């Protein structure tokens, strides 16, 4: 059985949206992830990276797609 996440779903979705929305302000997506992780107290960049990828795959709202059209 998988261990439950220590981060609530709402926080994961918010963090992923924040990365996509702020990516233009940074040289790399990783830099945007580091900034968002620090602001929200997320200790694992790998977890945040996965949440961003999962969010893009869902395509539920326009925030999940970045400005270049990557999906």
- C-beta atoms surrounding 46 within 10 Å: 8
- Residue 25, domain member (yes or no): yes
Buried b / exposed e across 16-45, counting CB within 10 Å, b at 16+? bbbbbebbeeeeebeebbbbbbeeeebeee
**22 lies in which domain range?**
9-64
pLDDT of res. 51 = 94
pLDDT band at 7 (very low <50, low <70, confident <90, very high): very high
Cβ atoms of 54 and 46 within 8 Å: the answer is: no
Residue 54 placed within a domain:
yes
Q: What is the CATH number of the domain that holds 16?
A: 1.10.10.10
The total of other beta-carbon atoms located within 10 Å of residue 64's CB is 18
Domain assignment of residue 23, yes or no: yes
What band does 5 get if pLDDT is binned at 50, 70 and 90? Answer: confident
Region 29-57: mean pLDDT is 93
| Mean pLDDT, residues 3-18 | 91
60 occurs within a structural domain: yes
What single-letter DSSP state applies at residue 68? T
18 inside domain: yes
- Domain presence at residue 27: yes
């Amino acid at each position: 059985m998988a261990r439950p996440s220590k981060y609530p779903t709402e926080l994961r979705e918010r963090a992923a949206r924040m990365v996509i929305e702020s990516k233009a302000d940074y040289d790399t997506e990783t830099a945007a992830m580091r900034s968002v992780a620090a602001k929200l107290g997320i200790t694992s960049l790998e977890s945040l990276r996965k949440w961003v990828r999962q969010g893009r795959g869902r395509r539920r709202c326009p925030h999940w797609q970045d400005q270049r059209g990557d999906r």
